[in-house]
Structure 1
Amino acid sequence: METDTGMDVAVLVGLQASGKSTFYRECLSGRYGLVSKGLFPRSARDRQGRQMRLVEEHLAAGRPVAVDNTNPSPREWAPLVELAHAHGATATAYWFPPDVAGSLWRNAAREGRARVPDVGVLATLKRLREPSPADGFDAVRQVRFDGRGGFEVRGRAASAPRGTAARRAPASGRERLLRVKGRRSP
């Protein structure tokens, strides 16, 4: 969900190896810039501060941005939602419901720095919470693999408008279902 100006912060929420980066690459990369702590050098200091500065740079330049980290709880996503709204942008959560066996299997196939110790995936699971409009998100979309090489995206805009026409829920208020494959955006 974007404002009339296209300003949106897409916050990807899910376990490691849940499909977040693939979803970004296949579905959002054509319109959204990318900020991910996984792309920072291992020695980077103040990773959270650096992430927030990069998100702010995108918003200040009028570009929508996706934040591709696990973002398991309000502790991680609340500052992103606040920053989005401070810049007049919407904040959309893309929720990847946990599939622990699938994440561990996909993670085991990773090599080098991309592979996370299994204990890291399980630690994230303990903190993982489903985002909702009550957390300040203007929309929450649920993303799952569709079994055909793409993604199924279900979502709903927040029922309580934040005061701008661009943030109002569709008149029907019904859940949307999108099947996304390739570089089309939801």
Structure 2
Amino acid sequence: MTTGTDVAVFVGLQASGKSTFFDQRLSGRYTLVSKDLFPRGARNKQRRQMRLVDEHLAAGRPVAVDNTNPSPREWTPLVELAHAHGATATAYWFPPDVTGSLRRNAAREGRARVPDAGVLATLRQLRKPSTEAGFDAVREVRFDGRGGFEVRAEPLHAPGSPDDPADHGAAGQAAFGMRAGASARTGPTSSPAVRCLRRKGHPTGKRPGRPVDPFDTR
């Protein structure tokens, strides 16, 4: 049984518009959790993040997790925590635009700017989220060319696969080439919590229920 609470998990490169998207579209409805908000020298950031998400869900507050979250290693614990609280988990997928991310990153200052190698390292790990990966819904987010965003349900690429490196320009193709066939690798096996749900009759490891759509104005 779902509670009507949702965990929004952002998946995308650094400087892909995730934080701006939150400010424009989810702020005021979701509580923001991000490792970037922790002090630079903070220890156990993953544990702290999970504790915050757990506390917000226990209080019935929707949560948006604004990190790169590039692969199942990062997003699976969030999905499982959401379902453990009877909440839904929605992925917000920011398809990689390496040239654009590098350009926007170069314009940042101080802590907000990361080395270009960091952006390319994230690209090599990046996988497209899917309902097969445990999410209750996936929404694709792109810039609309007018300072805002377009949000579309169910992206076009095959579930669980990396985006097409041909779409990324020379920098993206080079980064994908560095992993030498790693695109065929799959994510980690399901956790004990997901296997328990499957034994209870939920074949995908998810609790039933439709995720809250923050863009539904009906």
TM-score, normalised by the number of residues in structure 1: 0.84
User: Which one-letter code corresponds to 2:8 in the other structure?
Assistant: A
Partner AA of 2:50 in structure 1? M
Counterpart code for 1:56: D
The residue matched to 2:64 in structure 1 has which SS?
strand
Q: Aligned pair 1:94/2:92, yes or no?
A: yes
Cross-structure match for 1:115: 113
- Indicate if the aligned counterparts of 2:86 and 2:207 stay in contact, CA closer than 8 A: no
Amino acid at match of 2:19: S
**Residue number in structure 2 paired with 1:20:** 18
In structure 2, C-alpha distance between the alignment counterparts of 1:162 and 1:44, rounded to whole Å: 32
Distance 1:55 1:64 in 2: 9
Distance in 1, matches of 2:144 and 2:117, equals 27
1-structure distance, mates of 2:49, 2:64: 11
- CA–CA separation in structure 2 for the residues paired with 1:114 and 1:42: 11
Q: In the alignment, which residue of structure 2 is the partner of 1:151?
A: 149
Q: How many residues align?
A: 165
Runs of at least 4 residues off by over 6 Å: none
More strand by share: 1
The whole-number CA distance in structure 2 between the counterparts of 1:161 and 1:81 is: 10
Bigger Rg, structure 1 or 2: 2
Q: CA deviation at 1:149?
A: 1.2
Q: 2:138 aligns with which of 134, 137, 140?
A: 140
Matched-pair contact (CA < 8 Å) for 2:83–2:206: no
What is the aligned partner in structure 2 of residue 179 from structure 1? none
User: How far 1:60 sits from its partner (Å)?
Assistant: 0.4
Residue-by-residue CA offset, 1:93-128 (whole Å, 9 max, x unaligned): 000000000000000000000001100000000000
TM-superposed CA distance for 1:131, in Å, is 0.3
Structure 1: give runs of 5+ residues left out of the alignment. Answer: 169-175, 177-184
Q: Percent identity?
A: 78
Aligned mates of 2:126, 2:115 — CA distance in 1: 17
TM-score when scaled to structure 2?
0.72
CA-based RMSD of the aligned residues comes to 1.9
Partners of 2:13 and 2:82 in 1: CA distance: 23
Distance 2:42 2:207 in 1: 38
**Do the aligned partners of 2:54 and 2:81 also contact (CA within 8 Å) in 1?**
yes
Question: Which digits, 9 at most, give the CA deviation of each residue in 1:21-64, with x for residues without a partner?
Answer: 00011100120001000010011110000000000011000000
